[in-house]
Amino acid sequence: MSSGNRIAVAGCYICNVPATKCCSKCSIAKYCSREHQLQDWKEHKKNCQIFEVKVLPIVGRSLVAKRNIEAGEVIIDELPLFTGESSSASSSSPLFVFIYTCVLMMNIPYVPGGKYVARCICILRCLWLKRNEPEKWKHVVSMESHAETRRHLQPEFWRMNQNNIVQFIRYYLKFHDMTDVDEAEIHDLCGIWNTNAFDVRNAGIENLRGLFQPLSHTLARRSHLEFSKIFFCHCQRCEDPTEFGTFMTAWKCQACDDGRLIISDANDPNSDWVCYDCKNKVESSTVKDIEQKVKTHFAQLGKTAQEMEAFLEKFSRIMLPTTSYAIQIKYALMELLPSDENDQIEIQKKEDICKELLNLMNVLCPGLTRVRAMICVQLGRCQRQFATLLGSNEKNAQVAAQSKLLSSREFLEEALNILIKEPEGTHFYDLGKQIQAELVEINDTLAHHIILENCTTTGGV
């Protein structure tokens, strides 16, 4: 084995036995002994450090790739400085059990409201590093907080932190008696958490959120990043009014048939909009009113397939099939519409949605992504059910069913290639195991098809 571009390896990169040492530069390559590390160095040094830390004008301190990174390749493998529940965590999670057995909080009559309970615990864990892990604390305080920027640009957000986190820690937990913790420092830690922390998907929940929702439109993504990370995104996708030809931020032009209305200047949210096809111009305020109307109805939308399909029909005159709101609803429909439906029309509807989403992901989220895996799972199961419905003694139907099974196997194998890389014990890893079992069944069915075909050809029974 060599340690070139590869996915994670649990054991030694030479012999794959349990490893106790790792490369000090990248912390990824693992070895069972010094001898094996030296043996692998000639190959490993070519790809040792995938990224470097740079301070960039717009986004600040960042990890920047030093070379092209292959799909599935490990970028970084190390423990976080500290972890905490997100603000949407359920009250039954282990963290919330910890809250009510915490020595500091056992006798405190006041508990901060709602989501701020989780944030208080995160800040307390960070302050624990200051007292007990000074080296880790140095790493924490070296991170960007944007605390003063938030105070001036997001005063309401700053006040909520002041009321629900700073005052609670300083006065209800008696930290005001400790000279090494002041209000400014707690605000800095709040800013560091908001700027640098990111969500890790919880087992059993499909969460599309990383730094941003990949299915949201440019204005929403930029607004989210500007609020949470304090920078205005200038990536290639955000700079392109067509979003790489997907037109996810576009609306339907009312001056021509099927025209696509896009913003004239992607970096100016107040610029006019222009039809990509007929060049008709529309004022920014008009488009904002349209977007707000759709956004309001979208936020109030029910969770049934019927309600979602009604929404698509209601706004079909102003939304393109690729407008982000339509795409997000189609993703939800993909999950809601059953794969074991006995109606070919309904199965075809789901298959069409899956294919549309997969084509979109080929452009916006290529590579080994969970979103892609979930689409491939649904599409593979959909085509397997199609094969079941087509199955009969007629030769043409058998050929069509076999073609669907082969296609189903292809999509499920692609999904498995992504899901099997997930950590054991997670929902996605378990789903990968289910897909493995389904692939065994599909291969058995295909083998049976071949046997029957051979029997028919040779005149057997």
What are the boundaries of each domain within the chain?
A: 1-78, 94-196, 337-461
Mean of pLDDT values over 136-160: 89
**pLDDT grade for 105, boundaries at 50, 70 and 90:** low
Q: What is the pLDDT of residues 32-70, one digit of tens each?
A: 988 888 888 888 887 787 888 888 887 777 888 888 888
CA distance from start to end of the chain? 50
Whether 264 shows a pLDDT value over 60: the answer reads yes
Q: What is the pLDDT of residues 201-217, one digit of tens each?
A: 554 444 433 455 788 89
* pTM of the predicted model as reported, rounded to 2 decimal places: 0.78
Q: What is the pLDDT of residues 303-324, one digit of tens each?
A: 899 999 999 999 999 999 999 9
Q: What is the pLDDT of residues 391-405, one digit of tens each?
A: 755 666 778 888 999
SS (H, E, C) 16-65: CCECCEECCCCCCCEECCHHHHHHHHHHHCCCCCCEEEEEECCCEEEEEE
